[in-house]
């Protein structure tokens, strides 16, 4: 820390290096005397129009080897040396399951399900490959829409509306029943109203401007004015 050279703010670097394009294919070529095979298969999509065949690409090992889908759904990928490959269909609007294809050095083909977790587990699939539509991809969130039913059946709204109904409707029912109870109710209501209500805006202001020495007065004044009104 006490070095005469204090701290270093930057390190200068530059990329002088190459990306070795990894020569997997050529290696296999050397070993197997350039034997190359083809992968065949068919894609099944329920759609009637053939639009999907135009933007479908068959990717073998992520596009190292490419194939194109014909209008009847079949495809061939030529020039693939022996090895183990993952074949997938790239289409922006349809989902497919990827398959693994093993090609022996003699050209024997085997197709199986992709299992990255246990690569040695073999679940055979048919060859020539068959890709079936597994649904449509969902790229977007659904935007929340405001609907009146959503609002009404909201529990918060329900808890507020039901007591409100009780307060509004029940007294009406009782009123019609008996004159005495009505009077009793009236008294009860009066008692409720006589309590100091929420202070009026003008009262707050006046008490505020009248200074800190008289808050007690203002409080006292309230029940008086309330009783007068009655």
Partner 1 sequence: MAVTGSIVFLAIFVGCSYALFADQAGLFDWKQDYVGKVKFLHWEQLPSAGKKVLLASEKNVIASVNAHDGSIVWRKIFESDRRGRIDAFLHHGNAVVSVQAGGQFVRSWHAGSGSLNWEKSLTTDSASWASAFLLEREGKRDRIIVTTSSTMHCLKLSDGLEEWRAELPNSDTVNRWFVQGQSDGFVAVGVTAGQRVTVVSVGVEGKVKQPKNVPAPWIALDTSCVIMEDSKHFVCYSAQTSSLQLLSLEAVSVFIPTDLKELGVATSNDSQIEAVVPELGSTIMFRSLENQLVLMSLTSQQAFSVHKVLDKTYTAQVTKHAEKSILLTLAQAGPESLKLTGVDFTAGTEIEDLSQTFPFAHYHGHPTKLYPFVFTKKKDSSNKPACKLIFSSQDYSLHFVQKNKAQWRREESLSYILTVQMVDLPVSENQAKFEDEFGTKEEDIFAMFIKRLKAQFSQLKVFTMGLMDRVMGHTHHYTVSSDAIEEEEPEEEDLVRDDFNLHKIIVVATASGKIYGIRSHTGKIAWQQFVPDLVPFQRYGQLKLLLLVQRTTAHFPHAPQCTVLGVSKQTGNGLLISFNPVTGALLSGRQGQGHDLGFKVVQAEMLAEMDAEFLKGLILIDDHNKPHIYPESSQSVFKALTMQLFFHLMNSETGIMTGYRLTPSASELSLDEIWTLDLQKSQQTITGVYGKRAIDLVHSQGRVLGDRSVLYKYLNPNLVAVVAEGEEILSSSNNKGPSAFFSLYLIDGVTGHIVHHQTHKRSRGPVKVIHSENWVVYTYFNEKYRRNEVGVLELYEGRQQSNSTAFSSFSPPPPPLVMRQAYIFPEPIYAMASTVTEKGITSKNIILALKIGGVLSLPKALLDPRRPVMPTQETMEEGTIPYVPEIPLSTEALVNYNRSIFNVDGVFTSPAGLESTSLVFVHGIDIFYTRVMPSRMFDVLKEDFDYLFIGSVLGVMILVSFITQKLAARKALNRAWK
Q: Which of residues 60-99 bind partner 1 (CB under 8 A)?
A: 61-66, 68-71, 76, 78-79, 84, 88-98
CA–CA gap between residue 221 and residue 57 (Å, rounded): 85
Report if residue 148 touches partner 1, rule: CB under 8 A: no
Report if residue 5 touches partner 1, rule: CB under 8 A: yes
Please identify, using beta-carbon distances, which residue of 89 and 103 lies nearer to partner 1.
89
Q: Which of 27, 41, 46 is nearest to 135 (CA)?
A: 46
Q: Which of 181, 193, 210, 225 binds partner 1 (CB under 8 A)?
A: 193
Please identify, using beta-carbon distances, which residue of 124 and 213 lies nearer to partner 1.
124
End-to-end C-alpha distance for the chain, whole angstroms: 84
Subset of 6-25 contacting partner 1 (CB under 8 A): 6-22, 24
CA–CA gap between residue 122 and residue 120 (Å, rounded): 6
Please identify, using beta-carbon distances, which residue of 213 and 227 lies nearer to partner 1.
227
Integer-rounded Cα radius of gyration of the chain: 41
Q: Interacting stretch for partner 1, rule CB under 8 A, among 29-37, 122-130, 168-176, 202-210? A: 29-37
Report if residue 53 touches partner 1, rule: CB under 8 A: yes
Paired sense of beta strands 36-44 and 99-103, if any = unpaired
Rounded to 5°, angle at Cα 98 from 36 and 110: 45
Q: Which of 43, 35, 42, 41 is nearest to 108 (CA)?
A: 35
Please identify, using beta-carbon distances, which residue of 139 and 209 lies nearer to partner 1.
139
CA–CA gap between residue 59 and residue 98 (Å, rounded): 10
Q: Interacting stretch for partner 1, rule CB under 8 A, among 34-42, 165-173, 205-213, 215-223? A: 34-42
Structure tokens given for 135: 């649904």
Q: Which of 44, 47, 108, 137 binds partner 1 (CB under 8 A)?
A: 137
Report if residue 34 touches partner 1, rule: CB under 8 A: yes
CB of 94 within 8 A of CB of 45?
Answer: yes
Shortest distance in whole angstroms from residue 4 CB to partner 1: 10
Report if residue 55 touches partner 1, rule: CB under 8 A: yes
CB of 67 within 8 A of CB of 39?
Answer: yes
Report if residue 1 touches partner 1, rule: CB under 8 A: yes
């Amino acid at each position: 820390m006490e070095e005469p050279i204090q701290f270093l703010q930057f390190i200068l670097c530059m990329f002088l290096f190459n990306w070795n394009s990894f020569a997997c294919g050529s290696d296999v070529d050397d070993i197997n005397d350039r034997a190359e095979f083809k992968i065949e298969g068919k894609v099944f999509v329920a759609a009637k129009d053939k639009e999907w065949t135009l933007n479908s690409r068959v990717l073998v090992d992520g596009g190292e080897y490419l194939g194109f889908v014909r209008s009847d759904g079949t495809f061939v990928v030529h020039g693939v040396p022996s090895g183990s490959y993952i074949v997938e269909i790239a289409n922006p609007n349809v989902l497919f399951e990827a398959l693994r294809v093993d090609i022996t050095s003699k050209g024997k083909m085997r197709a199986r399900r992709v299992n990255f977790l246990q690569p040695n587990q073999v679940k055979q699939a048919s060859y020539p490959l068959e890709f079936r539509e597994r649904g449509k991809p969902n790229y977007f969130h659904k935007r929340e829409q405001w609907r009146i039913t959503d609002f009404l059946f909201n529990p918060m709204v329900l808890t507020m509306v039901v007591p409100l109904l009780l307060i509004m409707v029940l007294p009406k029912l009782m009123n019609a029943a008996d004159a005495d109870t009505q009077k009793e109710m009236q008294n009860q209501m009066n008692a409720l109203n006589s309590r100091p209500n929420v202070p009026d805006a003008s009262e707050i202001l006046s008490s505020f401007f009248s200074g800190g020495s008289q808050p007690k007065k203002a409080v006292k004044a309230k029940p008086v004015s309330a009783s007068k009104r009655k």
